[in-house]
Structure 1
Amino acid sequence: MSLFDDDVPRKSAGGAVTVGEDLSRLSEEELSERIEALSAEINRTQKELEQRGTIRNAADAFFQK
């Protein structure tokens, strides 16, 4: 451990992505991994949104009777 370890950004635990973090120190491989993680999160969020829309539509149909 050197005196300058505090200056080096640490990787997030579990591959978590922090929106707005400084990207200038990331390697090309790390940037690609970040894109994959963000794409996976976008897909997960879109699926959740679709599920909620389906539930809302079912509720709307039920209560409009």
Structure 2
Amino acid sequence: MTFEDLEPKNVTRKPVDLSTWNIEDLEGYIANMKTEIQRAEAMIVEKQSVSSAAESLFKR
């Protein structure tokens, strides 16, 4: 069990105040967010694959 397991799953987070960030920081933030989106999308594909495999196994 990790610390992340103890955090509530559906908490609405307060948006980050970007008004004081410089351009380089904003570009880095965007790059990090895009990387995180790709990681989440890959996890969705993986979970769909596992789910499909399980469904086909139990439908037999």
Q: TM-score, normalised by structure 2?
A: 0.76
Q: Which runs of 5+ in 1 are unaligned?
A: 1-17
In terms of Rg, which structure is larger? 1
Q: TM-score, normalised by structure 1?
A: 0.71
Q: How many residues align?
A: 48
Shift of 1:21: 0.8
Shift of 1:63: 0.2
CA RMSD of aligned residues (A): 1.4
Question: Runs of 4 or more off by more than 2 Å in structure 1?
Answer: none
Q: Which runs of 5+ in 2 are unaligned?
A: 1-12
- Residue in structure 2 matched with residue 8 of structure 1 by the alignment: none
Percent of pairs with identical residues = 25
- Residue in structure 2 matched with residue 41 of structure 1 by the alignment: 36
